Amino acid sequence: MASSSDLDGNPPPPPPFHFSDDERGSSSATTDIVHTIPHSLTSSWIPRKRNLDEDDASISWRKRKKHFFILSHSGKPIYSRYGDEFKLAGFSATLQAIVSFVENGGDSVKLVRAGKHQVVFLVKGPIYLVCISCTEEPYDSLRGQLELIYGQMLVILTKSINRYFEKNPKFDMTPLLGGTDIVFSSLIHSFSWNPGTFIHAYTCLPLAYATRQVAGAVLQDVADSDVLFATLMCRHMVISLVGAQKTSLHPDDMLLLSNFVMSSESFRQVDLARFYLSDITHKWTSESFSPVCLPRYNPSAFLYAYIHYFDADTYLILLTTSSDVFYHLKDCRIRVEMVLLKSNVLSEVQRSLLDGGMHVDDLPPTPCSGSSHLIHNSLPSDSPERFKEPDLGIAGPAGLWHFIYCSIYLDQYVSSEFSSSINTPQQRKRLYRAYQKLFVSMHDKGVGPHKTQFRRDENFVLLCWVTQDFELYAAFDPLADKALAINTCNRICQWVKDVENEIFLLGGSPLSW
């Protein structure tokens, strides 16, 4: 609530507009080899076995564009995105040798460039993480991804693994991670579709304010001394979230926890009869109780998670510090479930999934009233007909293809649906990579932080606007008019404000850190 009035009452002063030097056609934009992936990038991705027959001698392995490795400080492989860890022992030892060679010189290695490849290192005590990539993603992005992979490992094992290495430097960690390949590969996959992985915020499923209130109220009702956090999620999106005793949940923890839950198939045993007949007395239920660690909350200790799926997409996570309150949490879940069924929350959730979020075609025509604006009238424009919307065919207003709006106060972002101009997984992945690049350049501590940026290349026009309150990333048709694009961004901000109580979780958010 506070955030909405602040946004309305104190619009940030219109920032001066800086144009970066990148406003030029890029000739190197098509480095991604386009190969058809038969399903959408997000929900229908089917986890598959990694190519276990590969090793570092295989041509197919060498051709992979992005490798991730986890190894121990003695050079023992722990995880590899592709290939069999066991067969990669020699390669792993080489990586370890690079790290220790630099360390012996009293320094630490961060990045090695080799032709088109970047080799990014992250050292976390006895654990080394390495990414080898030819995707042209910025160093900061890749390093951020390694941080998340390390975090995911802590979710499964906590930082207490370090103790094993103190006792035995040659400790083999792979058995401890048995069966978790899918958790890591699902996280790595999300780097190319989930903006939360680089924005470090979370997103909510769009819902009517009253519906979300109902969910929030019942979660609040069960959040007592035994329940540290109660979260109702739909896929990677939050429906509602309550934290007890002013504790807060970091967005990265949310991301890693939901990835862990969603990628672990054993949690998702849904009795369809139970769901469709809304019969909660149906004779069997499946629920899970598992230790999990939230690295930003406490990297050294396990919490216990009670996990229950209400349907194929919607699940409840109750986090507790006590290992013996399963039956209490089970009762809490039954209370939550009764309310959700009685108030039709679950069917509203399914409807929202079908309808999708903000569609760029629905952008209201004109900004309503005097809230914040992105542009001074005196700013230069690259088109004389700046206020006439050109017909750009199938796209949103002014050639708008997509946007991401992140509220700094709320630690939440909203990502629009894609216009039909961006309809292949490859195009979406390319756009996310471009956003990531933009994000890094906007937050570059060396030359930044920047406030605005306008980029044009042969794939799209990208516009970014960062204020104290929000960050907006928007993508347009490459032929889009600059002034119109800027005008459209103002309209997006107004639109987001108009619907914020449906797209964000407002009021007393336990999510701020």
Partner 1 sequence: MGCASSIAARDSRQLGFPNSENDGGHDAKNLRVKLVLLGDSGVGKSCIVLRFVRGQFDPTSKVTVGASFLSQTIALQDSTTVKFEIWDTAGQERYAALAPLYYRGAAVAVVVYDITSPDSFSKAQYWVKELQKHGSPDIVMALVGNKADLNEKREVAVQDGIDYAEKNSMFFIETSAKTADNINELFEDFVDYATSRLPPDILAA
The strand pair at 202-203 and 412-415 is best described as parallel
Binding mask 142-171 for partner 1 (x = CB under 8 A): --------------xx--------------
CB nearer to partner 1: pick between 227 and 503: 227
Q: Cα angle at 469 between 468 and 472, to 5 degrees?
A: 100
- State the nearest-atom distance from the C-beta of 323 to partner 1, in Å: 5
CB 386 within 8 A of CB 486: no
Window contacting partner 1 (CB under 8 A); options: 2-10, 141-149, 282-290, 340-348: 282-290
Shortest distance, CB of residue 267 to partner 1, whole angstroms?
7
Give the full edge-to-edge strand order of the sheet including 127-133: 77-80, 66-72, 127-133, 117-124, 111-114
Shortest distance, CB of residue 170 to partner 1, whole angstroms?
A: 17
Is residue 309 within 8 A of residue 315, CB to CB? The reply is yes
The amino acid at residue 142 is L
Q: How far is the CB of 203 from partner 1 (least distance, A)?
A: 24
Judge contact between 133 and 142, C-beta under 8 A. yes
- From first CA to last CA, the distance across the chain in angstroms is 17
Q: Nearer to partner 1 by C-beta: 136 or 226?
A: 226
Contacts of residue 197, defined as CB under 8 A and 6 or more positions apart, other chains included, come to 144, 145, 148, 190, 191, 255
Instruction: Kindly state the smallest distance separating residue 31's Cβ from partner 1, in Å.
Output: 36
Contacts with partner 1 by CB under 8 A: the residue count is 36
Q: Which stretch binds partner 1 (CB under 8 A): 87-95, 285-293, 336-344, 354-362?
A: 285-293
| Closer by beta carbon to partner 1, 53 or else 331 | 331
Closer Cβ to partner 1, 292 or 486, answer by number: 292
Binding residue (CB under 8 A) for partner 1 from 267, 297, 413, 473: 267
Judge contact between 80 and 181, C-beta under 8 A.
Answer: no
The piece of 63-71, 250-258, 262-270, 348-356 that touches partner 1 (CB under 8 A) is 262-270
Stretch that binds partner 1, among 50-58, 172-180, 214-222, 426-434 (CB under 8 A): 172-180
Four-point Cα dihedral 238, 240, 245, 250, nearest 10: 10
CB 65 within 8 A of CB 133: yes
Q: What DSSP designation does 341 have?
A: H
Residue 160 Cβ vs partner 1, minimum distance, rounded to whole Å:
11
For the bound state, the minimum distance from the C-beta of residue 302 to partner 1, rounded and expressed in Å, comes to 8
> Could you say whether residue 10 binds partner 1 (CB under 8 A)?
no
Site for partner 1 in 324-363 (CB under 8 A): 324-328, 330-331
Which range, of 13-21, 174-182, 311-319, 500-508, touches partner 1 by CB under 8 A?
174-182
Determine, following the binding rule CB under 8 A, whether residue 409 of this chain makes contact with partner 1: no
Provide, rounded to whole angstroms, the least separation between the CB of residue 264 and partner 1.
4
Q: Which stretch binds partner 1 (CB under 8 A): 173-181, 374-382, 455-463, 480-488?
A: 173-181
Q: Which is nearest to 372 in space by CA: 8, 91, 43, 25? A: 8
Contact 257, 294 (CB under 8 A): yes
C-beta of 181 vs 502, nearer to partner 1: 181
Position among 60, 94, 247, 266 found at the interface with partner 1 (CB under 8 A):
266
Nearest distance from residue 53's CB to partner 1, in Å? 20
Q: Closest distance between partner 1 and the C-beta of residue 452, in Å? A: 45
Encode burial over 356-385: b for 16+ CB neighbours within 10 A, e otherwise: ebbebeebeeebeeebbbbbeeebebeeee
CA distance 384 to 172: 66
Pairwise CA distance, residues 346 & 240, whole Å: 12
Q: Using the rule CB under 8 A, is 247 a contact of partner 1?
A: no
Residues numbered 179-218 forming contacts with partner 1, rule: CB under 8 A: 179-180, 182
The minimum distance between CB 287 and partner 1, in angstroms, equals 5
Gap between the Cα atoms of 380 and 435, Å rounded: 24
377: which DSSP letter? Answer: T
Binding mask 286-325 for partner 1 (x = CB under 8 A): xxxxxx-------------x-----------------xxx
Tokens 């933009």 sit on residue: 438
In the region spanning residues 214 to 243, those forming contacts with partner 1, defined by CB under 8 A, are 224-226
Calculate the alpha carbon distances from 486 to 157, 376, 452, 481 in Å: 47, 10, 10, 9
3-state DSSP assignment of residue 223: coil
Q: Which is nearer to partner 1, 333 or 482 (CB)?
A: 333
Nearer to partner 1, 265 or 391 (CB): 265
> Residue 318 and residue 337: Cα distance in Å, rounded?
13
- The number of CA neighbours under 13 Å toward the Cβ of 336 is 32
Binding site for partner 1 (CB under 8 A): 156-157, 175-180, 182, 224-226, 264-267, 269, 271, 283-291, 305, 323-328, 330-331
